[in-house]
Amino acid sequence: MEWNEIIINNIRTIIREKGYLQKSVANRAGYSKQTFNNMLNGRRAIRADEIPRIASALGCESSDLYDDHAGQAE
């Protein structure tokens, strides 16, 4: 799995686990709902410099989004 897919999966997992609305996270991160949706559906790449503001909007650390084991059952 490439790093962008890992990040997308982790963002989706955190949104689900915390019960957030995708549009609320988008708003807090400074994106339109459509742009954020495009990012999560692979139609727009998530750049490394965008990770900190997405993590902040999710209430987590940037490193949490890079973790390729996040959200997996142990």
Q: Where are the domains of the chain?
A: 3-66
Instruction: For residue 38, count other CB atoms closer than 10 A to its CB.
Output: 15
pLDDT tens digits, residue range 24-45? 999 999 999 999 999 999 999 9
> Which 3 state secondary structure label does DSSP give 41?
coil
* pTM given for the model: 0.88
CA distances from 50 to 26, 72, 73 (A): 12, 24, 27
The helix (run of H) or strand (run of E) holding residue 54 is helix 51-58
**Fold (CATH) for 3-66:** 434 Repressor (Amino-terminal Domain) (1.10.260)
What is the C-alpha to C-alpha distance for residues 2 and 22, in angstroms, rounded to an integer? 22
33's tokens = 């709902």
pLDDT at position 7 over 90: yes
